[in-house]
């Protein structure tokens, strides 16, 4: 008996196609509020430096400038740029809070130093040029191997050797057996190191936000955020107010690819609006998008795989060093995904892995199109091809022989367990020293 479906097998019109096609759709940069000012941000010209002195008097004296702020004018509340939805985690985030609205130390070229709000864009740009900053330039590190060297200047004082997080595989599904013994028992061993480069989302809409604070202290933020409810929670923590005092409105979003999961220039716009007592709009240039928004996490991935003569995967080890950038961003979460997805696809009696998250003086890293999963899969599948060649087997046949079957623990199950481990571990540990996640 045939059945008529409502949607299956039929063309479905997207609900937002008409407003986008006609130009009726309003994006964040289209928002206009009465009395709205233009905001601009002063970025660090150095990848690593202390701010010894900052003078804003000339900028404040410029006609048309209504607010100038530095780290001295903003709440001293650390926050996590990549806030996360961990409902079992009392802290509201699985990330260590390591960033401030405006910073007195520059940790990457493009870090936020000061901001202005003026009657128009030209005046705001002129005001930025009038802010005088004296820097103490520090050694900087682009590569994890350099940042981890003994004696390297700490990018964050709480992370010796610039390694804030080491993630190890929790048993029983990701860490099992004995990898070294398994490799020794294998007939064919593959050991290779792969490099996955940094990538930028390049969405069409640059980062933008509009902030307004009313006479009762209620904050409204227009932002292309993908997690508005969670964002409210993080903003409330930053500005020491209740979640009920914050309203996050997400208009049409001109592309994300994961980058809109993070906090960007919204807190600066709020701080400017509080100081000026008027709404403030902040819209990035494309250059600012490239220098300050999260990127994909670059990684060095070392894979060891041991196989029996018949192609059975007998040992599997992953060792990864990944860039966090100047702040943790979502590198920590990407590390967990690397292990759960990387060690979760294939059946193997001896598995283990480790991911080192390393601070570097580069743009913070974050979510981008399956962050953690694509780089590891790319590396692991090359290792499988190398193994197939050495074993004299068809590459597809080798994969089908070792891939998990129905009823075995899936990646989704492992990822759920990993989330619980992260939540409980973060609540149990005070991250003043590097810490490991494990069951």
Q: Which CB contacts under 8 angstroms, 24+ apart, belong to 14-20? A: 16/252, 19/252, 20/252
For residue 427, being part of any structural domain is answered with yes
pLDDT at 348 over 50: yes
> What does the pLDDT look like over 194-206, one tens digit per residue?
998 888 888 889 9
Residue 423 maps to a domain: yes
Q: What is the pTM of this model?
A: 0.86
Q: What is the mean pLDDT of residues 352-370?
A: 90
**Amino acid 342: pLDDT:** 84
With 50 as the cut, is the pLDDT of residue 87 above it?
A: no
Mean per-residue pLDDT, 92-111: 82
Q: Cα 76 from chain centroid?
A: 22
Q: Which of these ranges, 81-90, 106-115, 405-414, 419-428, has the smallest mean pLDDT?
A: 419-428
Rounded to an integer, what distance in angstroms lies between the CA atom of residue 202 and that of residue 8? Answer: 33
Q: Which domain holds residue 313?
A: 144-201+294-437
- Residues for the chain: how many in total? 439
The pLDDT value recorded for residue 427 is: 35
Whether 162 maps to a domain, the answer reads yes
Cis status of the peptide bond prior to 82, with omega within 30 of 0: no
- Per residue in 109-119, pLDDT (tens digit) is 999 999 999 99
Could you tell me if residue 420 is inside a domain?
Answer: yes
Please indicate, yes or no, if residue 158 is contained in any of the structural domains: yes
Domain count, the chain: 1
- State the CATH number of the domain containing residue 433: 3.30.365.10
- Determine, yes or no, domain membership for 413: yes
pLDDT at 88 over 50: no
Lowest mean pLDDT across 111-125, 133-147, 411-425:
411-425
Q: Is residue 128 part of a domain?
A: no
Q: With a cut of 60, say whether residue 431 has pLDDT above it.
A: no
Query: Does the pLDDT value for residue 73 go beyond 50?
Result: yes
CA dihedral 89, 92, 96, 102 (to 10 degrees): 180
Q: What string of H, E and C letters represents the secondary structure of 51-88?
A: EEEEECHHHHHCCCEEEEECHHHCCCCCECCCCCCCCC
Q: Provide the token pair at 276.
A: 């000026």
Please state, rounded to an integer, the average pLDDT across all residues of the chain. Answer: 87
Q: Tell me, yes or no, whether 267 lies in a domain.
A: no
In this predicted structure, the answer to whether residue 123 has a pLDDT above a threshold of 60 is yes
Across residues 9-23, what is the average pLDDT?
88
How confident is the model at residue 425, as a pLDDT? Answer: 41
Answer yes or no: is pLDDT of 226 > 70: yes
Rounded Cα distance between 125 and 116, Å, is 9
């Amino acid at each position: 008996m045939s059945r008529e479906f409502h949607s299956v097998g039929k063309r479905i019109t997207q609900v937002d196609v008409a407003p986008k096609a006609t130009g009726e759709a309003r994006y964040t940069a289209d928002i206009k509020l009465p009395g709205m000012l233009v905001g601009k941000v002063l970025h660090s010209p150095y990848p690593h430096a202390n701010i010894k002195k900052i003078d804003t008097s000339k900028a404040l004296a410029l006609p048309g400038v209504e607010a100038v702020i530095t780290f001295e004018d903003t709440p001293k509340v650390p926050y996590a740029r990549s806030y996360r939805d961990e409902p079992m985690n009392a802290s509201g985030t699985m990330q260590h809070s390591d960033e401030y609205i405006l910073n007195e130390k520059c940790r990457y070229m493009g870090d936020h130093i000061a901001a202005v709000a003026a009657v128009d864009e030209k005046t705001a740009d002129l005001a930025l040029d009038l802010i005088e900053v004296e820097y103490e330039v520090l050694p900087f590190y682009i590569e994890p191997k350099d940042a981890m060297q003994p004696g390297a200047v700490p990018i964050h004082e709480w992370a010796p050797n610039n390694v804030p997080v080491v993630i190890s595989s929790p048993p029983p599904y990701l860490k099992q057996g004995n990898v070294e013994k398994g490799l020794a028992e294998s007939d064919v061993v593959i050991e290779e190191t792969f490099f996955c480069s940094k990538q930028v989302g390049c969405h069409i809409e640059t980062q933008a936000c509009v902030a307004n604070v009313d006479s009762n202290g209620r904050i409204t933020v227009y932002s292309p955020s993908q997690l508005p409810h969670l964002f409210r929670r993080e903003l409330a923590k930053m500005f020491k107010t209740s979640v009920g005092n914050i309203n996050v409105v997400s208009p049409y979003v001109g592309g994300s690819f994961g980058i809109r999961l993070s906090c960007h220039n919204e807190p600066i716009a709020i701080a400017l609006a509080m100081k000026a007592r008027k709404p403030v709009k902040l819209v990035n240039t494309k250059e600012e998008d490239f220098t300050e928004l999260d990127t994909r996490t670059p990684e060095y991935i070392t894979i060891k795989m041991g196989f029996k003569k018949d192609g059975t995967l007998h040992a599997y080890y992953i060792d990864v060093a990944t860039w966090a950038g100047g702040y943790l961003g979502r590198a920590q979460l990407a590390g967990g995904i690397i292990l759960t997805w990387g060690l979760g696809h294939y059946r193997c009696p001896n598995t283990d892995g480790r991911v080192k998250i390393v601070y570097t003086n580069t743009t913070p890293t974050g979510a981008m199109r399956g962050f953690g999963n694509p780089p590891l899969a790319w590396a692991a599948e090359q290792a499988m091809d190398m193994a197939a060649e050495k074993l004299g087997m068809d590459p597809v046949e080798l994969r089908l022989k070792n891939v998990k079957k129905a009823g075995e623990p899936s990646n989704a199950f492992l990822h759920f367990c990993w989330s619980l481990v992260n939540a409980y571990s973060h609540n149990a540990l005070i991250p003043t020293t590097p810490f490991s996640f494990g069951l």
